Structure 1
Amino acid sequence: MKAFKLYSFLAIIILLSSCSSNDDNDNNNANSLAGFTTRDNCPELPIGPTSAYWEYAKGNPIPLNQLPVLQNPQAAFSYAHSNRNLPPLTLTPPQGYQAIDYINPNTNPFGVNMIRNDGAVVWRYVPISTYPVNFSDSNILDTEVNNVTSAFGFNGNYNVLCEATPIVFSENGITRIFRARMIEFNNTIALIWIAATYVESLFTVSVASSVSAGPSNEYASLVMDIFLPMSFQLYPSGSSPLSDRDNDGTPDIFDPEPDNPNVK
């Protein structure tokens, strides 16, 4: 886990240091990820922003000249958790999108579902949800993927554009597993990742997850204009959305005492 923390910290430093701090050049150095290729053996994954977003989702730095920001924001919305000890999640969605609480009676999630008005684009961030402990990380990822395809009304076989090798960290009776999959179905591309935390003696699994889905022919522009800017809103204090310093299953940004494993 210490190695993971160090890696995440270095990735953030490299990523942010690649962003221009010169205000005079901001307008001339717009981010361009054209030609970017993934490190994975995924020949069907589109080159450019889609491949870059795949690497970014796995925690790898990507070449940015400036911080991604929304060009057409609407008013900020706050989403409160039923556990009042957790601070609300506040995000600024773009115009033309509706942001609502993500509801799933099977996993009791706390998160945001942001949907374009035509229903063709979904960006979802769920920092906390729960699964039965008998669900493996593979079961959880498959369930989240099936939730996406079902929401789009697709019941067939999807095409896997890329799947990440599971990243596993174990320490002091706590196991954390990160998995990601990018799929294509019905002219829609979707990136789904999950981070499942298993704690010995507990009967549930704490899961963070995210979805970024949209039309295949728009996906590259959605990455640049919507998905990356929304993802960067999850860095309120420069930390990773997956950071959990005390390994208690609650992401640091929602943990009132992020260094105390006895307080969630």
Structure 2
Amino acid sequence: MKSFLKTLFVVSLLLNMACSSDSNNNDNPNNLQNFTSSLCVNVTGPTAAYWDYAHGVPFPSTQIPTLANPGQQFIHSQYPALGFTMPQGYSGFEDQAGLGVNMIRNDNQVVWRYVPNMVALAQIPIQDVVANEVNQLFAFYNFNGDFEVVCSQNRTQNLGTMVVNQSSRLLRFGNITALLFVQTYMDPSLGSTIASVSMSSGPTAEYDNLVMNVFLPIHWQLLYIDNGVRDSDLDGTPDTQDNFPFDPTKQ
């Protein structure tokens, strides 16, 4: 069950990279300054391309996304397959509840958050997960004023007894822009919810550059995980040694 959610999340948010590319230091955000979103009329430029990409639209660039200023390596202590190189000036902090990470710039103005596996022993509406993430985001930036929902999308898919919900927001508040993507997986017969979250926030004036030079290069690193350490169902056994790589109850 965990792997099913994780696979859907990767397909919807990360696997698009296989059909597209993004930037390195030579891919100037100005090259996309006139890009218009096919999904949201309220945003343009690299941020618009990032919004579309989060929803399965290939990113309109021919450059492989790489960090121009690679720094320290982050490896999750409980889930080593979650590992990537951070840009200089950033630190990674584990999210133990969902086997995730919060990567924060040292001035506390930029956050990249990825939590693939939050489990609740109840059926939680996806909008409750979204509201909780937004409230945490506002608290991090000490913000309590008005905010703008620039783009919003919700989608539900029924797969047999399984219900997969997706909800995303592009927010602007104060001098910050944030893209939030949440996915939940529920099976009524199990009475529980698994949620995954990806969130990227930073100063609005820098956001296009952050998309090209920080956020997308990290997504690309997560997309290509060495099969020697890939553990799709998070049961502690690498797929190469697991007879049931997508079932956490069997090995």
Please report the TM-score for the alignment, with normalisation by the length of structure 2. Answer: 0.80
Partner letter of residue 58 of structure 2?
Answer: P
* Partner Cα separation in structure 1 for residue 56 and residue 19 of structure 2: 15
Secondary structure of 1:62's match? coil
* Partner Cα separation in structure 1 for residue 20 and residue 204 of structure 2: 28
What corresponds to 2:82 in structure 1? 89
Cα shift readout 1:18-48 (whole Å, capped 9, x = no counterpart):
559xxxxx997767322111122442x2x10
* Partner Cα separation in structure 2 for residue 18 and residue 113 of structure 1: 25
Matched, 1:56 2:53: yes
TM-superposed CA distance for 1:237, in Å, is 5.0
* Partner Cα separation in structure 2 for residue 42 and residue 131 of structure 1: 35
Matched, 1:128 2:117: yes
What corresponds to 1:33 in structure 2? 32
Partner letter of residue 72 of structure 1?
Answer: N
Q: Is the 8 A contact 2:164 2:183 kept in 1?
A: yes
What corresponds to 1:75 in structure 2? 72
Q: Is the 8 A contact 2:123 2:186 kept in 1?
A: no
RMSD: 3.2
Secondary structure of 2:49's match? helix
Q: Is the 8 A contact 2:115 2:197 kept in 1?
A: yes
Residues matched between the structures, number: 232
Cα 1:202–1:226, aligned 2, differ >3 Å: closer, same or farther?
Answer: same
Matched, 1:234 2:242: no
Q: Which runs of 5+ in 1 are unaligned?
A: 21-25, 239-244
Cα 1:259–1:79, aligned 2, differ >3 Å: closer, same or farther?
Answer: closer
Secondary structure of 1:92's match? strand
Cα shift readout 1:163-191 (whole Å, capped 9, x = no counterpart):
01x22222232111111101011110011
Cα 1:225–1:143, aligned 2, differ >3 Å: closer, same or farther?
Answer: same
What corresponds to 2:208 in structure 1? 220
Q: Which runs of 5+ in 2 are unaligned?
A: 227-231
TM-superposed CA distance for 1:202, in Å, is 2.3
What corresponds to 2:101 in structure 1? 112
* Partner Cα separation in structure 1 for residue 98 and residue 123 of structure 2: 18
Partner letter of residue 74 of structure 2?
Answer: F
* Partner Cα separation in structure 2 for residue 201 and residue 207 of structure 1: 17
Secondary structure of 2:218's match? helix
Cα 1:62–1:215, aligned 2, differ >3 Å: closer, same or farther?
Answer: same
* Partner Cα separation in structure 2 for residue 64 and residue 263 of structure 1: 41
Larger RCO (CA under 8 A, 6+ residues apart): 2
Q: Is the 8 A contact 2:91 2:106 kept in 1?
A: yes
TM-superposed CA distance for 1:161, in Å, is 0.7
TM-superposed CA distance for 1:162, in Å, is 0.5
Cα 1:37–1:258, aligned 2, differ >3 Å: closer, same or farther?
Answer: farther
Of 112-121 and 169-178, deviating more is 169-178
Q: Provide the identity percentage.
A: 34
Q: Is the 8 A contact 1:80 1:88 kept in 2?
A: no
* Partner Cα separation in structure 2 for residue 167 and residue 78 of structure 1: 32
Cα shift readout 1:90-149 (whole Å, capped 9, x = no counterpart):
11110001111125xxxx221111000100000011111123524201111111111111
Matched, 1:179 2:167: yes
Larger strand proportion of the pair: 2
Secondary structure of 1:36's match? coil
1:99 aligns with one of 62, 67, 92: 92
* Partner Cα separation in structure 2 for residue 230 and residue 18 of structure 1: 15
Secondary structure of 1:115's match? strand
Residues 141-180 of structure 1 mapped to structure 2, 5 A cutoff: 141-164=130-153, 166-180=154-168
Please report the TM-score for the alignment, with normalisation by the length of structure 1. Answer: 0.76
Secondary structure of 2:32's match? coil
